[in-house]
Amino acid sequence: MGKRIFSIQIAATVPLGEAADTVHNALAAWTPEEDVEVVGAELTTQVHEVDIAVDGFAGLRTQLSQFGAMGNYSVIAEGYACVSSYIVVAAAQSAQYENSHVVVMFPEGHSIPVSEGTSLYLNAYKVGLCATKVVNCHIYAQIFYTKKGK
Protein backbone atom coordinates (compact mmCIF):
# COMPACT_ATOMS: atom_id res chain seq x y z
CA MET A 1 0.00 0.00 0.00
CA GLY A 2 1.35 3.43 -0.97
CA LYS A 3 1.56 6.54 1.15
CA ARG A 4 -1.24 9.08 1.20
CA ILE A 5 -0.38 12.32 -0.62
CA PHE A 6 -1.47 15.59 0.99
CA SER A 7 -1.44 19.07 -0.52
CA ILE A 8 -1.36 22.64 0.67
CA GLN A 9 -1.46 25.95 -1.23
CA ILE A 10 0.44 29.14 -0.50
CA ALA A 11 -0.08 32.35 -2.46
CA ALA A 12 1.17 35.93 -2.78
CA THR A 13 0.60 39.04 -4.89
CA VAL A 14 3.28 41.39 -6.22
CA PRO A 15 2.40 44.83 -7.67
CA LEU A 16 4.31 45.36 -10.93
CA GLY A 17 3.84 49.14 -10.98
CA GLU A 18 6.27 49.75 -8.12
CA ALA A 19 9.96 50.65 -8.37
CA ALA A 20 11.98 48.73 -10.94
CA ASP A 21 14.16 45.72 -10.10
CA THR A 22 12.73 44.76 -6.73
CA VAL A 23 13.47 41.59 -4.74
CA HIS A 24 10.59 40.07 -2.75
CA ASN A 25 11.94 37.47 -0.34
CA ALA A 26 9.69 35.13 1.66
CA LEU A 27 6.43 36.53 0.24
CA ALA A 28 4.63 33.53 1.70
CA ALA A 29 5.76 30.44 3.56
CA TRP A 30 4.55 27.04 4.69
CA THR A 31 6.01 25.48 7.82
CA PRO A 32 4.93 21.89 8.36
CA GLU A 33 4.11 20.83 11.91
CA GLU A 34 5.81 17.45 11.41
CA ASP A 35 8.50 15.94 9.18
CA VAL A 36 7.27 15.64 5.58
CA GLU A 37 8.60 14.63 2.17
CA VAL A 38 7.73 16.85 -0.80
CA VAL A 39 6.86 14.66 -3.78
CA GLY A 40 5.77 17.41 -6.17
CA ALA A 41 4.82 21.03 -6.64
CA GLU A 42 2.82 23.26 -8.97
CA LEU A 43 3.76 26.92 -9.41
CA THR A 44 1.53 29.37 -11.28
CA THR A 45 2.55 32.97 -11.99
CA GLN A 46 -0.19 35.14 -13.52
CA VAL A 47 -0.55 38.78 -14.50
CA HIS A 48 -3.94 40.21 -13.47
CA GLU A 49 -5.83 43.49 -13.37
CA VAL A 50 -4.31 45.25 -16.36
CA ASP A 51 -5.43 48.88 -16.82
CA ILE A 52 -3.15 50.45 -19.40
CA ALA A 53 -2.06 54.06 -19.03
CA VAL A 54 1.32 54.50 -20.73
CA ASP A 55 4.22 52.50 -22.14
CA GLY A 56 6.08 50.06 -19.93
CA PHE A 57 7.39 46.53 -19.36
CA ALA A 58 7.75 44.39 -16.25
CA GLY A 59 8.68 40.79 -15.65
CA LEU A 60 8.47 38.69 -12.51
CA ARG A 61 10.65 35.65 -11.83
CA THR A 62 9.15 33.46 -9.10
CA GLN A 63 10.48 30.56 -7.05
CA LEU A 64 9.19 27.95 -4.66
CA SER A 65 12.28 27.34 -2.58
CA GLN A 66 13.69 25.86 0.61
CA PHE A 67 15.46 29.18 1.16
CA GLY A 68 13.69 32.44 2.01
CA ALA A 69 15.58 34.53 -0.53
CA MET A 70 15.88 34.58 -4.32
CA GLY A 71 18.73 32.46 -5.56
CA ASN A 72 19.77 29.55 -7.73
CA TYR A 73 19.90 26.90 -5.03
CA SER A 74 17.30 24.88 -3.13
CA VAL A 75 14.70 25.79 -5.77
CA ILE A 76 11.86 23.30 -6.22
CA ALA A 77 10.05 25.14 -9.05
CA GLU A 78 10.59 28.39 -10.93
CA GLY A 79 8.23 30.47 -13.07
CA TYR A 80 8.08 33.75 -14.96
CA ALA A 81 5.38 36.20 -16.01
CA CYS A 82 5.62 39.49 -17.87
CA VAL A 83 3.48 42.32 -19.13
CA SER A 84 4.18 45.01 -21.69
CA SER A 85 1.98 47.92 -22.58
CA TYR A 86 2.54 50.40 -25.35
CA ILE A 87 0.77 53.17 -27.18
CA VAL A 88 -0.13 52.05 -30.70
CA VAL A 89 -1.45 55.41 -31.86
CA ALA A 90 -2.37 58.53 -29.93
CA ALA A 91 -5.72 57.19 -28.67
CA ALA A 92 -5.11 53.43 -28.65
CA GLN A 93 -3.11 51.32 -26.29
CA SER A 94 -2.26 47.64 -26.34
CA ALA A 95 -1.09 45.17 -23.72
CA GLN A 96 0.53 41.79 -23.97
CA TYR A 97 1.23 39.47 -21.10
CA GLU A 98 2.63 36.03 -20.59
CA ASN A 99 1.93 33.72 -17.65
CA SER A 100 3.63 30.52 -16.55
CA HIS A 101 2.45 27.25 -15.06
CA VAL A 102 5.09 24.77 -13.89
CA VAL A 103 4.47 21.28 -12.51
CA VAL A 104 7.23 19.22 -10.91
CA MET A 105 6.52 15.64 -9.80
CA PHE A 106 9.33 13.46 -8.50
CA PRO A 107 9.62 9.80 -9.55
CA GLU A 108 8.45 7.21 -7.04
CA GLY A 109 10.97 6.80 -4.26
CA HIS A 110 12.36 10.34 -4.63
CA SER A 111 11.37 13.37 -2.57
CA ILE A 112 12.65 16.47 -0.79
CA PRO A 113 12.66 16.05 2.99
CA VAL A 114 11.38 19.00 5.00
CA SER A 115 11.89 18.80 8.75
CA GLU A 116 9.35 19.98 11.29
CA GLY A 117 9.78 23.69 11.92
CA THR A 118 11.58 24.45 8.63
CA SER A 119 9.77 26.23 5.80
CA LEU A 120 9.19 26.36 2.07
CA TYR A 121 8.99 29.88 0.61
CA LEU A 122 7.64 31.87 -2.32
CA ASN A 123 10.25 34.36 -3.54
CA ALA A 124 10.12 36.78 -6.46
CA TYR A 125 12.32 39.18 -8.41
CA LYS A 126 10.68 41.94 -10.44
CA VAL A 127 12.50 43.54 -13.36
CA GLY A 128 11.46 46.59 -15.34
CA LEU A 129 8.71 49.04 -14.57
CA CYS A 130 5.22 48.64 -15.93
CA ALA A 131 3.85 52.12 -16.10
CA THR A 132 0.24 51.03 -15.93
CA LYS A 133 -2.34 52.11 -13.39
CA VAL A 134 -2.99 48.67 -11.87
CA VAL A 135 -0.99 45.55 -12.63
CA ASN A 136 -0.70 42.78 -10.09
CA CYS A 137 1.04 39.46 -10.49
CA HIS A 138 -0.42 36.58 -8.49
CA ILE A 139 1.71 33.61 -7.46
CA TYR A 140 0.19 30.31 -6.38
CA ALA A 141 2.11 27.25 -5.22
CA GLN A 142 0.49 23.89 -4.60
CA ILE A 143 2.79 21.59 -2.61
CA PHE A 144 2.26 17.83 -2.66
CA TYR A 145 3.76 15.92 0.26
CA THR A 146 3.67 12.74 2.31
CA LYS A 147 4.09 12.48 6.05
CA LYS A 148 7.45 10.99 6.86
CA GLY A 149 7.31 7.44 8.16
CA LYS A 150 3.54 7.09 7.65
Number of domains in the chain: 1
Check which CATH number belongs to the domain holding 11 and give it. 2.60.120
Name the pTM for this structure.
0.85
Domain assignment present for 13: yes
Domain assignment present for 1: no
Domain membership of residue 81 as a residue range: 6-147
pLDDT tens per residue, range 80-102: 988 776 655 555 556 677 889 99
The residues, any chain, with a CB within 8 Å of residue 34's CB and separated by 6 or more, are: 116, 147, 148
pLDDT tens per residue, range 11-59: 998 877 666 678 889 999 999 999 999 999 999 998 875 555 556 677 8
**pLDDT for the residue numbered 83:** 75
Domain assignment present for 91: yes
